């Protein structure tokens, strides 16, 4: 369960569309058509960036989107990664920067074209970093033995966690028990973007800390329904 194909399409679609449109205009030998193209595309990409920024600030609400999955031969609850909001914002921002840089390359002189090449390089580097993160991403899984982060690159056994001072908080009390990639604090929402309400995720983990006898049922449809039924929807 890596990043979804739709996330890649949302990220790469806008800059590819803008680059293709500009390429068609330039290859057609009609540079006078470049200005109308900019006039049309620049407001669209700017409006899209605003919409993407609004999406980034929204809080994920609602019940769990956990799936029943198999991890190391045993059933578990999995929250797949999703980068849709990040991809929407970054894809449109990349398209706007690409359009601005290509326009700058047409300006005579050295300074403006030089800045345009810098923008293109930084834009490509930022896109490559996000793509690398998406390709290496993995789900967060709640298992009988503990919590696997990012597809299992980090595994936090139940013994490493303790309830926090304020429900539904909890703390990483024994980091020495964590296997795989070391972490200082257990903050699932900051490790990978997840297709699950973080409120629900935190309450679910806290539930298994308070009631270890329920861990044996993790991975069963009945237990998943119990979680969805007993943990109320987030109200903000």
Q: What is the pTM of this model?
A: 0.73
Q: Highest-confidence range of 12-21, 33-42, 116-125, 221-230, by mean pLDDT?
A: 116-125
Mean local confidence (pLDDT), 134-162 = 89
Q: Which of 189, 163, 186, 190 is nearest to 175 (CA)?
A: 186
Give the residue carrying structure tokens 């990043």: 3
Mean local confidence (pLDDT), 156-160 = 91
Q: Which of 61, 13, 74 is nearest to 215 (CA)?
A: 74
Average pLDDT over the chain reads 81
101-110 long-range contacts, CB within 8 A, separation 24+: 102/19, 102/22, 103/34, 103/38, 106/31, 106/34
Mean local confidence (pLDDT), 157-176 = 80
Rounded alpha-carbon distances, angstroms, from residue 137 to 1, 23, 69, 76: 8, 33, 16, 18
The pLDDT value given to residue 92: 85
Nearest-angstrom CA–CA distance, 43 and 101:
16
The pLDDT value given to residue 186: 74
* Element holding 147 (H helix, E strand): strand 146-149
Give the residue carrying structure tokens 């009609």: 30
Residue 121 has pLDDT above 90, yes or no: yes
Torsion of CA 87, 90, 92, 95, to 10 degrees: -120
Residue 234 has pLDDT above 70, yes or no: no
Q: What is the phi/psi pair of residue 78, to 5°?
A: -120, 135
């Amino acid at each position: 369960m890596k990043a979804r194909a739709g996330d890649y399409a949302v990220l790469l679609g806008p800059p590819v569309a803008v680059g293709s449109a500009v390429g068609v205009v330039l290859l057609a030998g009609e540079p006078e058509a470049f200005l109308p193209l900019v006039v049309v595309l620049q407001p669209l990409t700017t409006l899209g960036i605003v919409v993407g920024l609004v999406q980034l600030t929204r809080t994920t609400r609602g019940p769990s989107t956990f799936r029943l999955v198999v991890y190391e031969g045993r059933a578990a609850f999995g929250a797949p990664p999703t980068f849709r909001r990040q991809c929407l914002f970054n894809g449109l921002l990349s398209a706007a920067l690409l359009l601005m840089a290509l326009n700058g390359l047409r300006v005579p002189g050295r300074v403006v074209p030089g800045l345009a090449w810098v923008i293109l390089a930084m834009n490509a580097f930022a896109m490559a970093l996000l793509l690398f993160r998406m390709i290496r991403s993995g789900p967060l899984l709640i298992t009988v033995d503990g919590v696997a982060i990012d597809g299992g690159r980090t595994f936090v056994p139940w013994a490493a966690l303790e309830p926090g001072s304020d429900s539904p908080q909890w703390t990483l009390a024994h980091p020495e028990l964590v296997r795989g990639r070391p972490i200082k604090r257990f903050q699932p929402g900051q490790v990978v973007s997840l297709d699950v309400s973080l409120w629900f995720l935190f309450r679910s983990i806290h539930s298994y800390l308070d009631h270890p006898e329920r861990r044996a049922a993790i991975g069963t449809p009945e237990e998943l329904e119990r979680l969805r039924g007993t943990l109320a929807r987030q109200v903000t």
